[in-house]
Amino acid sequence: MNETVILQTPAKINLSLDITGKLPNGYHTLRSVFQAVGIYDTLTVTKTAPEQPLTLTCNDAAVPCDARNLVWKAAVRLLGENPCGISMHLEKRIPSQAGMGGGSSDCAAALVGIRKLLALPVTDAALHAHAAALGADCAFFLRGGTVLAEGIGEQLTPLAPLPPYPLVIAKGSEGISTPEAYRRIDAVSEPLPPDTDHVLENLSRGAEALFSVCGCHFDAVTDLPEVDTIRRVIRERGLNPVLSGSGAAVYAGCADMEQAERCADALRAAGLPFVTVCETVPDGIRCADLSIIHPEI
């Protein structure tokens, strides 16, 4: 049996994100098209002595390496309150507080990796239930690709995967806390126009048609100076800037890689600390042998 499992954990963007209401328990209802994108953290899970307590290390000092980390929560979920017998190392490339689901993707990878490494008798359905309990975004990453999320984000409907469309993505040094973003949405008095139906109608009509109708309700309540700079630079190139989730990363879909690279150069020249070019991807968590986990959702 393998003693180490290495997993590549993708990021996501939201092609649309409509906040449709608020339940009495305070949860918001939404309709959103989630899209996996080819920016990856790497999670390495290694077998240790069965009685040795879990250890977690990370290349990013800003990421907590204890029970606050979502990969630790995944270990607790599968192995109990005091997880033993594995160590984990996380190489972060997905920015935090970006709305790109980095922590949730790592969490889904930890579920997949621990089950595989320890050959746990956990069915795909049970793994999906664990992921859903840890967060709606976490459940999305088990499948990845293109998925419609409804309800409070827990109702996931897989859609036909997109071809690899080029994207430019940028984020300033400031992040946005998701609770604060929702407080701002609650303060909006006028209903915001929905984008999800337009996105669904244009999913199979090519990159230009699709990316011109993408949108996100959090865009209306996000006014960070760096976000405004990203929007301006992207618009100057005739592209449509869209906040990913609650922010603060902004993406634009491009006609080709050359256009994406040119826009990325302009964003770097404007001083943005995180700028990257990548593509939409049709899957989710990948194991090192590149076998792709596709449990039914």
Q: Which positions are catalytic?
A: 12, 137
Q: Note whether 144 binds ligand ATP by CB under 6 A.
A: no
CB 18 within 8 A of CB 192: yes
DSSP state of 277: E
CB 245 within 8 A of CB 100: yes
Binding mask 189-228 for ligand ATP (x = CB under 6 A): ----------------------------------------
35 to 94, contacts with ligand ATP by CB under 6 A? 63-64, 68-71
- Applying CB under 6 A, the site for ligand ATP has a residue count of 20
Token pair 């594995």 is at which residue? 86
Instruction: Tell the smallest beta-carbon distance from residue 172 to ligand ATP (Å).
Output: 13
Q: Which of 139, 140, 170, 291 is nearest to 241 (CA)?
A: 170
Instruction: Tell the smallest beta-carbon distance from residue 1 to ligand ATP (Å).
Output: 26
Q: How far is CA 16 from CA 19, 22, 175, 208, in A?
A: 10, 18, 20, 15
- Polymer length in residues for the chain: 297
Q: Is 190 exposed, middle or buried (0-12, 13-18, 19+ CB in 10 A)?
A: exposed
Contact with ligand ATP (CB under 6 A): which of 18, 111, 137, 259?
A: 137
Instruction: Tell the smallest beta-carbon distance from residue 76 to ligand ATP (Å).
Output: 13
The C-alpha R_g of the chain, in whole angstroms, comes to: 19
The residue whose Cβ lies closest to ligand ATP is 103
Contact with ligand ATP (CB under 6 A): which of 10, 54, 74, 106?
A: 106
CB 100 within 8 A of CB 249: yes
Instruction: Tell the smallest beta-carbon distance from residue 9 to ligand ATP (Å).
Output: 9
Q: Output 12 or 115, the one with its CB closest to ligand ATP.
A: 12
Q: Which residues pair with 45 in a beta bridge?
A: 5, 88
Residues in CB range of 77: below 8 A, 6 or more apart: 111, 130, 133, 134
162 to 191, contacts with ligand ATP by CB under 6 A? 178
Contact with ligand ATP (CB under 6 A): which of 153, 245, 253, 284?
A: 245
Binding mask 246-265 for ligand ATP (x = CB under 6 A): x-------------------
Q: Note whether 104 binds ligand ATP by CB under 6 A.
A: yes
Both ends of the chain: CA-CA distance in Å?
Answer: 28
Residues that bind ligand ATP (CB under 6 A): 63-64, 68-71, 96-104, 106, 137, 178, 245-246
